[in-house]
Structure 1
Amino acid sequence: MGTNLVDFLDRTDMHRRRTRIAIPDFCAGSYVAVTCSDPFAPKGETRFVGICIARRNSRLASNFTLRNVVGGEPVEMTYDLYSPRLQNIEVLKLERRRRAKLYYLRNRPAKQSTVSEHMPKTEPVQGRLPPRKTKR
């Protein structure tokens, strides 16, 4: 009885979903744009741009949370990484913070967690990402 059936099914499903959509590497602190299908939207899809404040890696149940301030109101969206509704995940700016979860941004001013909807994509840095230098 070499392998567990649930593990095998999870891995095959993850592999099948990775062939349909390219899932980039990103971590908490990165600026990410997500396009997902929405049957109630006028164009059939919605795009959300935000800073990744949390990422949970647990095989098929992996998810990540994006935060942005839209119209003066803070908005947090949690997406399943292997959801069939996801059409595109785009890393606009790859950064790494000192903490794995950036929940402290909830208590900070809105300016610190606001991301422009039309933020241009920057070129990724090759090699390891250094931690972001914070002003004290």
Structure 2
Amino acid sequence: MKKNIPIFRTGDTIEVQVWVSEGSKRRIQLFEGIVISKRNRNFNFSFCVRKISNGDAIERVFHINSYNIGNVVIKKRGDVRKSKLYYLRNRIGKSAKIKELLTKK
């Protein structure tokens, strides 16, 4: 079980470091996007990250205790009211933006 995972919520912009095997070599590939859903199951939870690359939307589901995940870094906190942001699938451009959560320092 991993212990260095930060606490993030739906709507946050995160960067996931994924181990990718290419032949006999392994390297880290970054996947940065918005968390559109999070499924909590005790210690083992999964989350879905959506990013737009070259005009195409890509969604990946990650299991937090997978050996293919190296690290998770939070880039921005999002201010949302829903736990599942599936409505972002139908939106393009500025309407797919999420307002940033302002925190006190």
Give TM-score, length-normalised by structure 1: 0.65
C-alpha distance in 2, partners of 1:63/1:46? 19
Which has the bigger relative contact order, CA under 8 A and spacing at least 6? Answer: 2
| Identity fraction in percent | 29
4+ aligned runs moved over 6 Å, structure 1: none
* 1:1-136 map, 5 Å: 14=1, 17-18=2-3, 22-40=4-22, 44-113=27-96, 125=103
Q: Could you say which residue in structure 2 is the equivalent of 1:130? A: none
Structure 1: segments with no counterpart, 5+ residues: 1-13, 115-123, 128-136
- What letter corresponds to residue 8 of structure 2 in structure 1? F
Which structure has more strand as a fraction of its residues?
2
Give TM-score, length-normalised by structure 2: 0.82
| Aligned pairs, number | 100
Structure 2: segments with no counterpart, 5+ residues: none
Which structure has more helix as a fraction of its residues?
1
CA RMSD in angstroms, aligned pairs only: 2.4
